[in-house]
Structure 1
Amino acid sequence: MDRRTFSGLALGSALVGPGLSEALAQAKPGPKVLRYAFPVAETGFDPVQVSDTYSRTVTDHIFEGLYQYDYLARPYKVKPCLADGMPEVSEDFRTWTIRLKRGVFFAQDAAFKGQRREVVAQDFVYAFKRYYDPKTKSPNFPTLREAGILGLEALREAALKSQRFDYDAPVEGLQALDSHTLRIKLAAPRPRFLYYLAAGDIYGAVAREVVEHYGDNIMAHPVGTGPFKLVIWRRGSLIVLERNPDYREAYFDAEPNADDEEGQAWLKQLKGRRLPIIDRVEVSIIEESQPRWLAFLNRQFDLVAVPLEFSSVAVPQGRLAPNLAKQGVRLGRQLLPDRVLYYFNMEDPVVGGYTPERVALRRAIGLATDLAAEIRLVRRDQAIPAQTMVAPYTWGYDPKLKTENSDYDLARAKALLDLYGWTDRDGDGWREQPDGSPLVLEYASQPDAISRSMDEVWKKNMDALGIRVDIKLGKWPEQLKAARAGKLQIWLLAYTATNPDVQDALDILFGPSSGAQNLARFKLDAYDEVCRRMQALPDGPERLALLRQAQKLVLAYAPHKYTVHRIANDLTHRHLVGYRRPAFGRQFWHYVDIEPKAADRT
Structure 2
Amino acid sequence: MSPDTASHRLGPSAARWAITAWCTLTLAAAATASEPPVGSASAAPSTVRVAFHGHENGFDPAQISDVVSAALVGSLFDALLTYDHLARPAKLKPNTAVSLPEVSDNYTRFVFRIKPGITFSEHPAFKDKAGRPTQRELVAADYVYSIKRYYDPAVRSPTLFHYQGAGLLGLDELRQKALDTKTPFPYDTEVEGLKALDRYTLQIRVAKPAPRLPYVLATPALSGAVAREVIESLPDTKAAMAHPVGTGPFKLGAWRRGSRIVLERNPAHQHSVHDEQPAADDAEGQAIAQRFRGRKLPMVDRVEVSIIEEAQPRWLAFLNGELDMVWVPDEFVGSAAPQGQVAPYLAKRGVRMTRVVAPTTRHVYFNLENPIVGGYTPERVALRRALALAYNAPRERALMRRGQMKPAQSVIPPQVSGYDPDLKSEMSDYDPQRAKALLDLAGYVDKDGDGWRDQPNGQPLQLELHTEPTQLARQWQGHWKSSMDAIGVKMSFRMGAWQENIKAARAGKLMMWTTGWSAAIPDGSYFLDLMYGPNKGQSNYARFDLPAFNTLNEQQRVLPDGPERQAVIAQAVKLSLAYMPYKASGHDVNTWLYQPRVQGFRPHPFMRDFWRFVALEP
The TM-score range, normalised by the shorter chain, is: over 0.9
Query: Could you tell me which residue of structure 1 aligns to residue 88 of structure 2?
Result: 74
Write the deviation string for residues 119-162 of structure 1: whole angstroms up to 9, x where unpaired.
00000000111111111111111221111110111111111122
Contact 1:36 1:302 in 2 (8 A): no
Residue 324 (structure 1) shift = 1.0
Query: Is residue 116 of structure 1 aligned with residue 135 of structure 2?
Result: yes
Query: Is residue 437 of structure 1 aligned with residue 459 of structure 2?
Result: yes
Residue 457 (structure 1) shift = 1.3
Query: Could you tell me which residue of structure 2 aligns to residue 3 of structure 1?
Result: none
Superposed, 1:121-200 pairs within 5 Å as: 121-163=140-182, 164-200=184-220
Query: Could you tell me which residue of structure 1 aligns to residue 21 of structure 2?
Result: none
1:108 partner SS: coil
Q: Please, which of 53, 58, 83 is the counterpart of residue 44 of structure 1?
A: 58
Superposed, 1:361-510 pairs within 5 Å as: 361-510=383-532
Partner Cα separation in structure 2 for residue 39 and residue 277 of structure 1? 24
Q: Which segments of 5 or more consecutive residues in structure 1 lack a partner in the other structure?
A: 1-25, 597-602
2:406 partner SS: strand
Q: Quick check: 206-215 or 513-522, which moved more? A: 206-215
Query: Could you tell me which residue of structure 1 aligns to residue 118 of structure 2?
Result: 104
Q: Please, which of 212, 219, 225 is the counterpart of residue 232 of structure 2?
A: 212
2:125 partner SS: helix
Contact 2:162 2:216 in 1 (8 A): no
Superposed, 1:475-554 pairs within 5 Å as: 475-554=497-576
Q: Please, which of 328, 331, 348 is the counterpart of residue 326 of structure 1?
A: 348
Partner Cα separation in structure 1 for residue 293 and residue 114 of structure 2? 24
1:506/1:27 CA distance change after superposition, 3 Å: closer
Contact 2:363 2:585 in 1 (8 A): yes
How many aligned residue pairs are there? Answer: 571
Contact 2:385 2:435 in 1 (8 A): yes
Query: Could you tell me which residue of structure 1 aligns to residue 246 of structure 2?
Result: 224
Letter in 1 for 2:331: E
Query: Could you tell me which residue of structure 2 aligns to residue 16 of structure 1?
Result: none
Letter in 2 for 1:187: A
1:412 partner SS: helix
Query: Could you tell me which residue of structure 1 aligns to residue 367 of structure 2?
Result: 345
RMSD: 1.3
Query: Could you tell me which residue of structure 1 aligns to residue 74 of structure 2?
Result: 60
Query: Could you tell me which residue of structure 2 aligns to residue 20 of structure 1?
Result: none
Write the deviation string for residues 204-260 of structure 1: whole angstroms up to 9, x where unpaired.
111111111123311001111100001111111011100001112432110112222
Query: Could you tell me which residue of structure 2 aligns to residue 4 of structure 1?
Result: none
Q: Please, which of 94, 102, 108 is the counterpart of residue 94 of structure 1?
A: 108
Q: Which segments of 5 or more consecutive residues in structure 2 lack a partner in the other structure?
A: 1-39, 128-132
Query: Could you tell me which residue of structure 1 aligns to residue 590 of structure 2?
Result: 568
Contact 1:59 1:202 in 2 (8 A): no
Letter in 2 for 1:195: Y
Contact 1:61 1:228 in 2 (8 A): yes
Q: Quick check: 587-596 or 508-517, which moved more? A: 587-596
Contact 1:499 1:585 in 2 (8 A): no
Partner Cα separation in structure 2 for residue 249 and residue 445 of structure 1? 43
Query: Could you tell me which residue of structure 1 aligns to residue 19 of structure 2?
Result: none
Letter in 2 for 1:197: L
Contact 1:308 1:450 in 2 (8 A): no
1:134 partner SS: coil
Query: Could you tell me which residue of structure 2 aligns to residue 306 of structure 1?
Result: 328
Letter in 2 for 1:189: P
Residue 200 (structure 1) shift = 2.0
TM-score, normalisation: structure 1: 0.93
Contact 2:95 2:272 in 1 (8 A): no
Q: Please, which of 252, 255, 258 is the counterpart of residue 277 of structure 2?
A: 255
2:466 partner SS: strand
Query: Is residue 276 of structure 1 aligned with residue 290 of structure 2?
Result: no
2:166 partner SS: coil
Query: Could you tell me which residue of structure 2 aligns to residue 11 of structure 1?
Result: none
1:569 partner SS: strand
Write the deviation string for residues 350-389 of structure 1: whole angstroms up to 9, x where unpaired.
1111111111110000010122211111111111110012
Query: Could you tell me which residue of structure 2 aligns to residue 201 of structure 1?
Result: 221
Residue 27 (structure 1) shift = 10
1:402 partner SS: coil
Partner Cα separation in structure 1 for residue 381 and residue 420 of structure 2? 26
Contact 1:387 1:403 in 2 (8 A): yes
Query: Is residue 266 of structure 1 aligned with residue 288 of structure 2?
Result: yes
Residue 83 (structure 1) shift = 0.3
Contact 1:61 1:201 in 2 (8 A): no
Query: Could you tell me which residue of structure 1 aligns to residue 34 of structure 2?
Result: none
Query: Is residue 355 of structure 1 aligned with residue 369 of structure 2?
Result: no
Contact 2:64 2:221 in 1 (8 A): no
Residue 580 (structure 1) shift = 1.0
Write the deviation string for residues 141-187 of structure 1: whole angstroms up to 9, x where unpaired.
12211111101111111111222211000101111000000011110
Query: Could you tell me which residue of structure 2 aligns to residue 595 of structure 1?
Result: 617
Partner Cα separation in structure 1 for residue 231 and residue 592 of structure 2? 36
Letter in 2 for 1:43: N
Pick the structure with greater CA Rg. Answer: 1
> What is the percent sequence identity of the aligned residues?
51
More helix per residue: 1 or 2? 1
